[in-house]
Amino acid sequence: MVSDASPAPAKTPVTLREVAALAGVSVATASKALNGQGRMTAETRERIRETAQRLGFRPNSLAQSLLRRRSFTVGLLTNDTYGRFSLPVMSGISDALVDNGVSVFLCNVEDDQRLGQLHVDAMLDKRVDGIIATGKRIDRHLPVDLSNLGVPVIYAFTQPDPGAIAFVSDDAGGARLAVEHFCRLGRRRIAHVTGPASFAVVHARAQAYRDVLTEKGLPVMEPLLGSWSEAWGHQAVKQLFDGKLSKSGGEKPDAVFCGNDQIARGVIDALRERGLDVPDDVGVIGFDNWQIVAEATRPPLTSVDMNLAALGREAGLTLLSLVGGEPAEPGIRKLPCRLVVRQSCGRPPDG
Amino acid sequence: MVSDASPAPAKTPVTLREVAALAGVSVATASKALNGQGRMTAETRERIRETAQRLGFRPNSLAQSLLRRRSFTVGLLTNDTYGRFSLPVMSGISDALVDNGVSVFLCNVEDDQRLGQLHVDAMLDKRVDGIIATGKRIDRHLPVDLSNLGVPVIYAFTQPDPGAIAFVSDDAGGARLAVEHFCRLGRRRIAHVTGPASFAVVHARAQAYRDVLTEKGLPVMEPLLGSWSEAWGHQAVKQLFDGKLSKSGGEKPDAVFCGNDQIARGVIDALRERGLDVPDDVGVIGFDNWQIVAEATRPPLTSVDMNLAALGREAGLTLLSLVGGEPAEPGIRKLPCRLVVRQSCGRPPDG
DNA sequence: CGCGATTGGGAAAAGGTTTTCTCAGAGGAG
DNA sequence: CTCCTCTGAGAAAACCTTTTCCCAATCGCG
């Protein structure tokens, strides 16, 4: 197909000087010809272009970067080895940047300060145009100091330094989406089973949960905090359906909004085990929309998606505009979640 | 703590020239002083070192790379967006390289040929010292041609070009580990439930399964091929325990070796649902040791771990030695798996 | 004291590209 | 025919560091 377009698979890359020599011009002229700069006869320009093509010339980025003080490279810091959250973010960032000809240095800093410094130094030495920090929690710092680095920094799905630019998911909004969906479906007694109190998102979502129920005049059951595990989902069902629900009468929940998909999985399994039908008896909504989990529950799980890839994209594009010298308001931007409806909530009463 | 070690957070990085000027020497001398080269009085060397330290001088990698023809950078190609397999591999690679001062370009090529070419070109332009290709299957090529690139290439957990150097997991060995473990525990009727026939590993593992059983004189049940899902695990249990097991008599299996952890999860759930105890009635072993799944099954799942991080490390180190000019035998290296014993198999009869 | 050897340090080239200046020649106008 | 203005293209500096070679000064020895 491209038989003539893949010429010398150069053992040693061909330089501009060689192109110039072969085309019978100076390197200066060759450079200008290939970059569409300067003035010369169309014929000269074309001859140089052709020669470059024939030789398979590709400019040495290192040399270009050195001169332009711009490397078309950014550093991506993460402490998320497991990758469930950072992977979509990274993927989004990468997409946004690659489309703009920018490469990404992947730097896994774990939670190790020494490693963090090592990576930041390496990035700076390699003259990255900017840095994006991402993590597995939006209420924890990466183990690195990114202030006063001399290059723009963007935080994506991790705790930012004050005065920095950050993108995070709108957890409260996501929770509203879920609870309001339950309300629309006519559920009246909506419980909330979520993760440990040490997570900021737990409180943000719980508060949104309370707010929606209060607005709608529905009973608020105190959120059940536990761990992010299936096991906790099981246990929570026991508490919800065995225990005497003290203040709010003896009625059992007809819906459970879960803090993540694993909890939801545990909840669904436990409900089935005690003979309750999902969604007919109890509706369940998860959080994270972790596809592999959400699609393996029976029935498949409706879940809140944080749009992490879009968040990454946004972060990448913003960094690029920063690198380009455009100004940007500091602050935290909360990006909306979306509800991915599967079959764990049932259909509207009228539908 | 490091109050004096973080001096001018340079808006514009300080160059060697400035260090030299301030220390009252030439750039040549300054360079030699900082690199431990050349000859000069200890006092001169120390003075230059001090000045550099004080100014926060860090050599410009771009300039160094240009000169040395070595960028201390490698490209990492992957097509695994989801990351379950490639993430540990990448993590291992990254660790191995970072410890050696080498940075990693992350390049997600999806299954898009155009994207692949884009990334490879960008990497080559940026003069990476080498390339590592990794993927989600060891029997599929990445959508890129990595032959005759002029830089060393290593394949890790993806299908290599002929004559290349590749690291993959020893799937047959891993399967042996599992089946032999069952044998040691006194299980006699061991079934194998695995993924689709289109995967090479399915056949490799199935053959090892057959081999071990034959060696031990145990009955071989034809492996059940399906999908990599929990649902298939459920269904397979139905086939195994309802159906008339044609040739091998009516006996039910007392052990199931599963092709991955999700299948195992489905198998365990299905067994429990039909009142069979794991591990007392039936032992189960999974594959992949996907922690989040293996620890969520009840009981926790014994599983074969492919040691992907170690595989990545190995690949990274090998690439480094290649870059360093050391020769290496082409061919495919199979790295051993290990069995992670949890509670889904029970204890030995004597223990 | 003279000569060779050693020592401390600098000048310059190299690496590949971009960009600014400069310049020779051609063309046109007067 | 002369002068001015373009036009096309090249020389050279710049980016920053490393390394090779070189030189001046000092030292030691006879």
How far, in Å, CA of A9 to CA of A145, rounded?
Answer: 43
B108: chain A residues, CB-CB within 8 Å: 91, 94-95, 98
Nearest CB to A83 within list B87, B123, B124: B87
**Segment (H or E) for B167:** strand B165-169
B63 touching A (Cβ < 8 Å): yes
CATH of domain B71-170+308-336: 3.40.50.2300
Residue pair A100/A121 in contact by the 8 Å Cβ criterion:
no
What DSSP letter does each residue of B218-283 carry, written as one string? Answer: PPPPPPEE--SSHHHHHHHHHHHHHS--STT-SPPPSEEEESSHHHHHHHHHHHHHTT--TTTT-E
pLDDT band at B349 (very low <50, low <70, confident <90, very high): low
A127: chain B residues, CB-CB within 8 Å: 13, 60-62
* Angle made by CA atoms A343, A87, B297, in degrees to the nearest 5: 55
Residue pair B256/B267 in contact by the 8 Å Cβ criterion:
yes
Q: In Å, how far is A171's CA from the nearest CA of chain B?
A: 23
| Architecture of domain A171-306 in this structure | 3-Layer(aba) Sandwich (3.40)
Q: In Å, how far is B220's CA from the nearest CA of chain A?
A: 30
**Segment (H or E) for B154:** strand B153-156
How many other C-beta atoms are found inside a 10 Å radius of the C-beta of residue B64? 15
User: Is the pLDDT reported for residue B10 higher than 50?
Assistant: no
The H-assigned helical ranges of chain B are 16-23, 27-35, 42-55, 61-68, 86-98, 113-125, 171-184, 200-216, 230-242, 261-273, 291-294, 308-323
- Average pLDDT of every residue of chain B: 92
Q: What is the pLDDT of residue B242?
A: 87
Domain boundaries, chain B: 16-59, 71-170+308-336, 171-306
The segments of chain A whose pLDDT lies below 50 read 1-10, 246-247, 351
Question: How do residues B211-257 score in pLDDT, each as one tens digit?
Answer: 999 999 999 999 999 999 999 999 999 999 986 554 455 689 999 99
Shortest CA distance from A146: residue in chain B: B9
- The tokens describing B249, both together, are 């008599």
Shortest CA distance from A309: residue in chain B: B81
Q: Which residues contact A130 (CB under 8 A, 6 or more apart)?
A: A74, A75, A151, A152, A153, A154, A319, A320, A322, A323
Question: How do residues B37-76 score in pLDDT, each as one tens digit?
Answer: 888 999 999 999 999 999 999 999 999 999 999 999 999 9
Q: In Å, how far is B184's CA from the nearest CA of chain A?
A: 31
Beta bridge partners of B255: B190, B283
Q: How many CA atoms lie within 13 A of A90 on its CB side?
A: 32
How far, in Å, CA of A157 to CA of B307, rounded?
Answer: 29
A325 touching B (Cβ < 8 Å): no
How many other C-beta atoms are found inside a 10 Å radius of the C-beta of residue B23? 21
Q: Does A70-169+308-336 carry CATH code 3.40.50.2300? A: yes
Find the nucleotide nearest B43 (Cα to C1′). Answer: C8
How far, in Å, CA of A69 to CA of B287, rounded?
Answer: 49
What is the pLDDT averaged over residues B322-330?
A: 93
- The tokens describing B270, both together, are 């299905």
The H-assigned helical ranges of B6-60 are 16-23, 27-35, 42-55
Q: What is the pLDDT of residue B169?
A: 96
* Residue bearing tokens 């014994």: B302
- Considering chain B, what percentage of its residues have pLDDT values greater than 90? 84
Q: Give the β-pairing of A190-194 and B331-335.
A: unpaired
Domain A16-59 - what CATH class?
A: mainly alpha
SS (H, E, C) chain A: CCCCCCCCCCCCCCCHHHHHHHHCCCHHHHHHHHHCCCCCCHHHHHHHHHHHHHHCCCCCHHHHHHHHCCCCEEEEEECCCCCCCHHHHHHHHHHHHHCCCCEEEEEECCCCHHHHHHHHHHHHHCCCCEEEEECCCCCCCCCCCCCCCCCCEEEECCCCCCCCEEEEECHHHHHHHHHHHHHHCCCCCEEEEECCCCCHHHHHHHHHHHHHHHHHCCCCCCCEECCCCHHHHHHHHHHHHHCCCCCCCCCCCCEEEECCHHHHHHHHHHHHHCCCCCCCCCEEEEECCCHHHHCCCCCCCEEEECCHHHHHHHHHHHHHHHHCCCCCCCEEEEECCEEECCCCCCCCCCC
A residues 245..284 contacting B (CB < 8 A): 262, 265, 269
A35 touches strand C (CB under 7 A): yes
Per DSSP, B148 falls in state T
Q: Test B127 with A66 for CB contact under 8 angstroms.
A: no
Q: What is the pLDDT of residue B153?
A: 97
Question: How do residues B88-105 score in pLDDT, each as one tens digit?
Answer: 999 899 989 998 999 999
Q: What is the pLDDT of residue A313?
A: 97
A205 touches strand C (CB under 7 A): no
Protein-contacted bases of chain D (C-beta within 7 A): 7-12, 14-21
Q: Which residues contact B324 (CB under 8 A, 6 or more apart)?
A: none
Q: What is the pLDDT of residue B244?
A: 59
Question: Same fold for the domain at A70-169+308-336 and the one at A171-306?
Answer: yes
